[in-house]
Amino acid sequence: MKATGGILASEQHTKALSFDADIIREDFPILKQLVYGKPLVYLDNAATSQKPAGVLDAMTHYYSTDNSNIHRGVHILSERATQQYEEARTKVQGFINAAQSKEIIFTRGTTEAINLVANSYGRANVKAGDEVLITAMEHHSNIVPWQILCEEKGARLRVAPINDDGELILEDFAKLLNERTKLVSLVHVSNALGTINPIPGIVEIAHRHNVPVMIDGAQAAPHMKLDVQELDCDFYAFSGHKVYGPTGIGVLYGKASLLDAMPPYQGGGDMISSVTFEKTTYNTLPYKFEAGTPNIAGTIGLGAAIDYVNQIGLERIARYEHELLEYGTEALSQIPGLRLIGTAKDKAAVLSFVLEGVHPHDVGTILDREGIAIRTGHHCAMPVMERFGIPATARASLAFYNTKEEIDALVAGIHKVKEVFG
């Protein structure tokens, strides 16, 4: 993390009585640049978040001081790298309050984590005539792996509907559970709508039918405190790059009893205990699911990102981002011709919208020239767009380093779009 007079900017922040995003922003070098001669306003955090200096420094330190492979070498560099890699696993365990560190599997990201469960647990437990239940607000990454599995096994993919506010209709979800349901997989926070699903109640309903539940937590992990034991979910996945860490690293949490019973997903490297031409004995958890040389620098960077977020505190982050969401919702609602998509009562800091008579791509292009980065398109959630009868939205997604002044800049930019297309 960047030091300011010997004190980290974020450490200064934690000593402050109120949440001060201006102090936090000092830890993020990329936010200080100008774009087209204007201050960068980065509002594309649901796609990926920016990285504090502490994360960048941790990865640079690894490559410049400790670079070596892990778990194999007897030399000091390998020992140091292995120690940092396993310390990151322990940090993730604490971050989501998993019962054991062996329940933390490192993957490339949320997508690979879901594919791991689909290919390992799914192939072993889903048969012809069985059902997998998802919801209508899923990211493609939580649809396609289950489609592939169901096509291969002759199983059926069921989809629980959502209402006009973008909320899961719990009554209909419960009705879709039956003796053929072998797994429920759903998103914690919708990337396209911002909807926060009531996971504890959903897990309770599914468990009444003895159905395990997988949670796509990619959009939840950066914004709320997680406790997988309290949620009682069976699997939970999230990506490092959305939690202010590097790309190419993610996490699958699974209950040890389930992971122990699952066959390996990929072969080679750390997942092996012994090999002959007749038989291979697999390693224990968590290594059984970590084939090949892992993303060591990325894992260490993720550990640094978790340290950073913990230092600020996810409860404080959630409160501040909720303030931003309320401010942004009110401000955007005042713009004639603007329609917010996703108006759930329980929402994360996502402002998805369409502007009458203007394609979202044009909105994004004009805002870009104002120095404002948002996301436009279907957000890898084409069924969600279809549900609302639109091809795409413009999406501003917020993080704890964003400010009300930046939302004001977004509003001014949207008025400029209206002038251009007026």
Q: Which residues are catalytic?
A: 380
* CA nearest neighbour of 354 among 220, 192, 140: 192
The secondary element (H helix, E strand) that includes residue 282 is strand 280-282
**Cα→Cα distances 275→71, 268, 271, 303, 358, Å:** 17, 10, 11, 32, 61
- For the sheet with 131-135, list strands across it: 104-107, 250-254, 235-239, 213-216, 181-187, 131-135, 156-160
d(CA 332, CA 251): 35
Burial class (CB in 10 A: 0-12, 13-18, 19+), 235: buried
DSSP E strands, 308-370: 338-340, 350-355
332 membership: H or E segment, kind and range = helix 314-333
Q: Which one-letter amino acid corresponds to residue 269? A: G
**CB-based contact 337:122 (threshold 8 Å):** no
Q: In angstroms, rounded to a whole number, what is the distance separating the alpha carbons of residues 183 and 382? A: 23
Q: What is the CA radius of gyration of the chain?
A: 22
- In the numeric block, the tokens 């977004």 are attached to 410
Cα angle vertex 374, ends 371, 380, to 5°?
155
Contact 162, 156 (CB under 8 A): no
Tokens of 144: 């396609």
Do 403 and 21 form a contact (C-beta atoms < 8 A)?
yes
